[in-house]
Amino acid sequence: MTERNTQPVRELYAYAISAKRYALFNIDANGTPVIRKASQHGLGHLMEPYDDKDPATGVPDPATPLRKLKLRRWQYDFWWKLVDAQLKGDPDIVPSDYHPALSFPALGRYSATSKVMLGWFKRHNEGRRYEDQVRPFGFLTLLFGRNGPLGPHVNEETDGRPGPGRPKKPVEVAPVAPYEKDPQAAAAKAFDRVTGASIERDRLQTCQDMIGGYPVSAEEKFLNGGPYDRGTTRRRHIRAKSVRGIGKEANRVSEDGMQLEDCQLSI
């Protein structure tokens, strides 16, 4: 005879931002969220800015061990802040300065597992001893440039002179660095993988920059899934105009991109 579970049943709530970005939680007697499950989607590519020995102030310790939640402490803290803002009626205004480490440059970790990615360090490796180079299958530090609206713009030039009335052209950077866990050290070694030029720290996105737009992530697969939409989403109807096989090299799409004519869809 199995033992009956005598634990009280608690109402479980869900906070969904977009596909794979959601949290399940209870609300305690004080109206405080208790995270039961949350996703790493959109966060897992970032190296942790701080660990569980230095948690954010004002965030209660997880009721479930982090290993069972499958979250890093910084990810748990962030989801708690997201849910807390939702319960307070400010879902689109989530503070991202609740921990000093979030003001440091955001880091990602990659491995030089392909010729393309190792090629990012061609300029860096020139003239260095082999043991000092970034080598095949070695770890790389990926940083994130302040591009687009976050970056500077300059006037397009014609024959070396600014063109009259021409719109300003964004200055793009593609920052990388040899592997470093310390964001300060990585930022000091950051360079553009295209030009080889060093990159100033103010051209690098911080963790605050990276997570600032997370609560308003769009759900492109459904209608009523815009950044500030609320309520029930609706299915989109898609008709494929052509099909192109990509074989077993699907993992190369992220490196080489896909031409629009390779997959034409109408929505």
The string of pLDDT tens digits covering residues 21-53 is: 999 999 999 999 999 999 999 999 999 999 999
Confirm whether 1 is domain-assigned.
Answer: no
Confirm whether 227 is domain-assigned.
Answer: no
Domain shared by 126 and 36, yes or no: no
Q: Could you report the per-residue pLDDT of 242-255, keeping only the tens digit for each?
A: 888 776 555 554 44
Domain-terminating residue out of 100, 132, 158: 100
Q: Please give the residue range of the domain that contains residue 65.
A: 13-100
Domain-terminating residue out of 59, 85, 100: 100
Domain shared by 82 and 113, yes or no: no
Domain shared by 114 and 33, yes or no: no
Domain-terminating residue out of 53, 85, 100: 100
Confirm whether 225 is domain-assigned.
Answer: no
Domain shared by 61 and 125, yes or no: no
pLDDT digits (tens), the chain, 267 positions: 556 666 777 899 999 988 899 999 999 999 999 999 999 999 999 999 999 999 999 999 999 999 999 999 999 999 999 999 999 887 777 788 899 999 999 999 888 888 888 888 888 888 888 888 888 888 889 999 998 776 776 555 544 555 555 666 677 889 999 888 899 999 999 999 888 889 999 999 999 999 988 988 888 888 888 888 888 888 888 888 888 877 655 555 444 444 434 444 334
Could you give the percent of the chain with pLDDT greater than 90? 42
Confirm whether 237 is domain-assigned.
Answer: no
Domain shared by 170 and 87, yes or no: no
Domain shared by 89 and 125, yes or no: no
Confirm whether 67 is domain-assigned.
Answer: yes
**Number of domains the chain contains:** 2
Confirm whether 211 is domain-assigned.
Answer: no
Domain shared by 81 and 142, yes or no: no
Domain shared by 146 and 58, yes or no: no
Domain shared by 79 and 128, yes or no: no
23, β-bridge pairs: 15, 38
Domain shared by 17 and 40, yes or no: yes
Confirm whether 222 is domain-assigned.
Answer: no
Domain shared by 91 and 33, yes or no: yes
Domain shared by 138 and 160, yes or no: yes
Confirm whether 231 is domain-assigned.
Answer: no
